[in-house]
């Protein structure tokens, strides 16, 4: 009989393929768990599940349960708000997934549970999971994200964002009472969380980057080509591109008439698609592999004005030795030195100066790319980043299979 621990992993979105921020993190957590334990994955799907996805997940997991999200999920979200809970929890409610988790918990002695994002915390009240050592990976402080949205929104939207922020904050406080540990994507996010929920259970687990997959690019980049990569239905990314193309790009083109901007990412909204009408801008949309597009670029940009946690797009570009220009928000959570690893820009003037500087000085741009690669190699390898999970879940050796599980973080 196997002496490997049994770990339940609850995720709000299928952690494969790792083609967006949350999936990248959840997929690498799953891989990390699967090396040390029998992983049971319970997750939700908001799109058709490809056979390749099932094959990939079954390679890592003892069992996989995927339930489609209810088509009436927004009705559930509104109903949750009316009951004094968060809309986010309503969006990810599934009776079918709950029944599966209940069945697993009655058949399997779980040694630990990892919950990815606050929206999946609701499934911990299943009989058989109570008292089991649990890590909740909040990733970011979602309540703060909604408060940030409220600052930039119109009256009614601002009211809704503030309400959701308040409900999520109450949930985030509740999580600290149940979880053995709470992880966030950076020390900065952990400090925000401890600021309204003082506790000794919170730790920062930064995102890593797949250094084998994102290798330094080879060959010649296209002169004066900029690239932005990110999910193009995500409000902060939409805001970043609309602002950049309106306030910065025309001035860049006046300095560099042959400059081009490639916007790459899944599900571009109508507002993003319309940016293809801006001279020099190409909305590429979803691609099977982002690396060829990044390899062809002169510089990567991360012009986010609203940002939480660590930006994978920044780490991946640095891993490919691509010069990167970032906004202050996109730099949060990273121990990066501006001018050494990346260039920093906030105002339109600063963005224009930084972009023209990179494009006109290939030697300086190449040096920036090299130091960026060295930085991620030393600080953002996934195995190193996720190693704290081994201690808080008691997964570092299989001999701990039957050890008593403490109820608080050492």
pLDDT at residue 309 in the model = 67
pTM recorded for the entire structure? 0.82
Compute the distance between CA of residue 391 and CA of residue 409 in angstroms, rounded to an integer: 9
pLDDT at residue 310 in the model = 74
pLDDT at residue 257 in the model = 96
Would you identify the CATH topology of the domain 6-208+382-400?
Rossmann fold (3.40.50)
Compute the distance between CA of residue 141 and CA of residue 190 in angstroms, rounded to an integer: 8
pLDDT averaged over consecutive 10-residue blocks of the chain (410 residues)?
84 92 93 96 93 95 94 89 93 95 96 96 92 94 93 90 97 95 92 95 92 88 93 93 97 97 96 97 95 96 84 92 93 85 96 96 95 94 92 66 34
pLDDT at residue 173 in the model = 97
Compute the distance between CA of residue 312 and CA of residue 203 in angstroms, rounded to an integer: 19
Whether 6-208+382-400 and 225-379 share one fold: the answer is yes
pLDDT at residue 130 in the model = 87
pLDDT at residue 405 in the model = 34
Residue-wise DSSP of 322-338: --EEE-HHHHTT----B
pLDDT at residue 404 in the model = 34
- Residue ranges of the domains in the chain? 6-208+382-400, 225-379
Tally the residues of the chain: 410
Compute the distance between CA of residue 346 and CA of residue 304 in angstroms, rounded to an integer: 9
Domain at 225-379: CATH code:
3.40.50.2000
């Amino acid at each position: 009989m196997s002496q490997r621990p049994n770990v339940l992993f609850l995720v709000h979105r299928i952690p494969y393929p790792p083609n967006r921020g949350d999936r990248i993190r959840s997929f690498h957590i799953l891989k990390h768990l699967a090396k040390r334990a029998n992983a049971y994955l319970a997750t939700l799907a908001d799109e058709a599940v490809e056979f390749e996805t099932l094959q990939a997940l079954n390679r890592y997991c003892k069992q996989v349960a995927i339930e489609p999200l209810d088509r009436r999920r927004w009705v559930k979200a509104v109903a949750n708000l009316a009951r004094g809970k968060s809309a986010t929890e309503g969006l990810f409610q599934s009776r079918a997934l709950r029944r599966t988790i209940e069945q697993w918990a009655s058949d399997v002695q779980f040694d630990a549970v990892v919950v990815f994002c606050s929206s999946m915390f609701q499934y911990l009240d299943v009989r058989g999971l109570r008292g089991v050592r649990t890590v909740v990976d909040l990733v970011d402080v979602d309540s703060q994200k909604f408060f940030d949205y409220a600052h930039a929104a119109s009256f009614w939207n601002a009211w809704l964002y503030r309400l959701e922020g308040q409900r999520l904050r109450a949930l985030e406080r509740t999580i600290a009472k149940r979880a053995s540990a709470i992880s966030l994507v950076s020390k900065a996010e952990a400090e925000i969380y401890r600021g309204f929920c003082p506790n000794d259970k919170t730790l920062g687990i930064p995102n890593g980057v797949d250094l084998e997959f994102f290798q330094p690019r080879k060959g010649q980049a296209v002169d004066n080509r900029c690239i932005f990569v990110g999910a193009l239905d995500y409000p902060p990314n939409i805001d970043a591109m609309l602002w950049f193309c309106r306030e910065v790009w025309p001035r860049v083109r006046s300095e560099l008439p042959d400059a081009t901007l490639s916007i790459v990412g899944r599900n571009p909204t109508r507002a993003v698609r319309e940016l293809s009408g801006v001279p020099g801008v190409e909305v590429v949309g979803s691609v099977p592999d982002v690396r060829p597009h990044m390899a062809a670029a002169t510089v990567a940009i991360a012009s986010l004005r609203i940002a939480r946690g660590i930006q994978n797009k920044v780490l991946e570009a640095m891993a490919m030795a691509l010069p990167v220009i970032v906004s202050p928000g996109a730099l949060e959570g990273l121990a990066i030195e501006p001018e050494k690893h990346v260039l920093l820009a906030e105002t339109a003037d600063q963005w224009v100066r930084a972009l023209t500087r990179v494009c006109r000085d290939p030697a300086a741009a190449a040096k920036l790319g090299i130091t960026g690669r060295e930085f991620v190699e030393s600080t953002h390898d996934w195995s190193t980043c996720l190693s704290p999970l081994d201690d808080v879940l008691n997964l570092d050796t299989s001999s701990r299979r039957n050890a008593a599980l403490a109820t608080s973080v050492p």
